[in-house]
Amino acid sequence: MSEAEHDGKVSHSFSLPFSIRLEPRLEEPPRWFPAVVSLSAIIVALTLGGVIIAMVGGNPFRSYAHIAQASFGSLGVFSDTIVKATPLILVGLACSLAFRMRLWNIGAEGQLYLGAFGASVVVLAPLLPADSPSWLFIPAMLIMGVLAGALWGFIPGFLKARYNVNEIITTLMMNYIAVAWNNYFIFAVWTEGGFQMSPVFPRAAWLPRLTDLAGQYPFLGGLTTHMGLLFGLIAAVVVWFILYRSQWGYEIRLIGDNPTAARYAGINIARNTILVMMLSGALAGLAGMSEISGVVHRLQERISPGYGFTGIIIAWLAKLNPFAVILVSILFGALLLAGREIQPSGIPKMIQGIILVCLIGSDFLLRYRIRIVGRKETA
């Protein structure tokens, strides 16, 4: 062993006058901090998006103004934004709940489709005669939608609990089954004159909309916001209550944070896996029911432009907080709506992507802090 070369001479060949260091945060940042970071991330994202718009020859300010105008500019368009946000709230909650237990339910899309199917059965099978009253139709559709979604959640939940089958794969694959299942009924069983859609539901099977009240309050005329929003808001409160004020929610949070500790506390993880997947599926199923009963009014192809997948992003951005899910959903609803106003694809999708990347990246700042340190020699 040559010991002569180890004489402690260490020099850096390249150095800046300062160094940037990342240090893990040892203390909790103040409460306002996450909000400020998220907001800054959005501002950064919009700036970046603006630069790109300018590069392709657009005027970023006018584009943004247009987006804002098209989604929040008037009561009418805001109502449309809310209509888009409604299913997002429900699937966002579905994902938040499952993710809280670290169950990666990627199947909200399929559960939504199956919820829509379940609700349609009531009208199209038919379980209820077409001249049934509204107070019978809507609860029945709601229950069937929720049950169908829960069933679609139960299957991967059971497989996970019993045989430890990866739920990411099963839920993802079951999305395709759900879409194909619906297609079969749309094409073959309930088709209306060969078109790929069912007949329109009877009026009594429609969720009440604000415009229905226009007789009494004329300013509500034309507003398509429907009762599904109410479902979403109630569901948010219920999910929050379950998570933070119930024994069950305590178990979910404990399992999610540390399954070993949960086992140690005597919690049945298998049972909770199934139950949480079922409730998650039920919420997504409710989104499907609300969508066909509140917006489409029939079962058809493409009732969801990927709401179930957007729900994953929403849950993530809302940091699994049920109330934040509502706000994030409205933001995404606006982007969905206004996006189509300025370009059918491209820029709006890109802005969505940039916002997402910035928000997820900004999470880093909550856990680390950046220090710029002068590289002067200390003596």
Partner 1 sequence: MAGGEQHENALGGEIQPVVHMWGIVKRFPGVLANDHVDFDLRRGEIHALLGENGAGKSTLMNILAGLYRQDAGTIMVNGKLVHFNSPRDAIQAGIGMVHQHFMLVPSQTVAENILLGLNEPRFLLRLPEFERKISALGDRFGLKVDPKAKIWQISVGEQQRVEILKMLYRGAQVLIMDEPTAVLAPQEIEYLFVTLKAMTTEGKSIIFISHKLNEVMAIADRITVLRKGKVTAAGIPAQGTSRQELARLMVGREVLFQIERKPRPAGEVVLSIEDLHADNDKGLPALQGVSLHVREGEIVGLAGVAGNGQRELAQVIACLRKSARGIVRFRDEVISNCNTDRAINLGLAYVPEDRTHVGTSPNLSITDNVIMKRYRKPPIARGWMLDFIEATRFANRLKENYDIVVPSVETPARLLSGGNLQRVILAREISGQPAIMVAVQPTRGLDVGAIEGVHRLLLEQRQAGAAILLISEELEELLSLSDRIYVIFEGRIMGEVKNDMDEKQEIELLGLMMTGTPLEQIRTGGASHE
Binding residues vs partner 1 (CB under 8 A):
1-3, 5-10, 12, 23, 25-28, 244-250, 253-254, 257-258, 260-268, 369, 377-379
**Residue 193 CB, nearest distance to partner 1 (Å)?**
50
Q: What are phi and psi of 369, to 5 degrees?
A: -125, 150
Instruction: Give the C-alpha separation, 245 to 265, whole Å.
Output: 18
Residue 304 DSSP label: -
* Nearest CB to partner 1, comparing residues 170 and 273: 273
What contacts 165, CB < 8 A, 6 or more positions away? 156, 159
The minimum distance between CB 132 and partner 1, in angstroms, equals: 34
Q: How far apart are CA 91 and CA 105, in angstroms?
A: 11
For residue 310, the minimal CB distance to partner 1 (Å) is 26
Spatial CB neighbours of 12, under 8 Å, sequence gap ≥ 6: none
Q: Is 368 helix (H, G, I), strand (E, B) or coil?
A: strand
Closest listed residue to residue 224, CA positions, set 86, 73, 342: 86
Q: Is the CB of 256 or the CB of 294 nearer to partner 1? A: 256
- Which residue's structure tokens are 């991967």? 156
Q: Residue 319 Cβ, how far from partner 1 at the closest point, in Å?
A: 12
The smaller minimum CB distance to partner 1, of residues 18 and 176, is found at 18
Query: What does the longest C-alpha to C-alpha distance in the chain come to?
Result: 98
The DSSP letter of residue 218 is: G
Smallest distance, Å, CB 124 to partner 1?
A: 37
Q: Which residue has tokens 């619906």?
A: 182
Q: Which is nearer to partner 1, 34 or 73 (CB)?
A: 34
Task: Provide, rounded to whole angstroms, the least separation between the CB of residue 27 and partner 1.
Answer: 5
Q: Tokens in use for 307?
A: 């709401």
Cβ distance to partner 1 smaller for residue 66 or 253: 253
User: For residues 266 and 254, what is the distance between their CA atoms, to the nearest angstrom?
Assistant: 11
SS (H, E, C) 75-124: HHHHHHHHHHHHHHHHHHHHHHHHHHCCCCCCCHHHHHHHHHHHHHHHHH
> From CA 324, how far away is CA 101, in angstroms rounded?
18
Pull the structure tokens for residue 110. 């399929």
Closer CB to partner 1, residue 252 or residue 286? 252
- Residue 61 or 264: the one with the smaller Cβ distance to partner 1 is 264
Q: How far is 170 from 159, CA to CA, in rounded Å?
A: 9
Closer to partner 1 at the Cβ: 216 or 378? Answer: 378
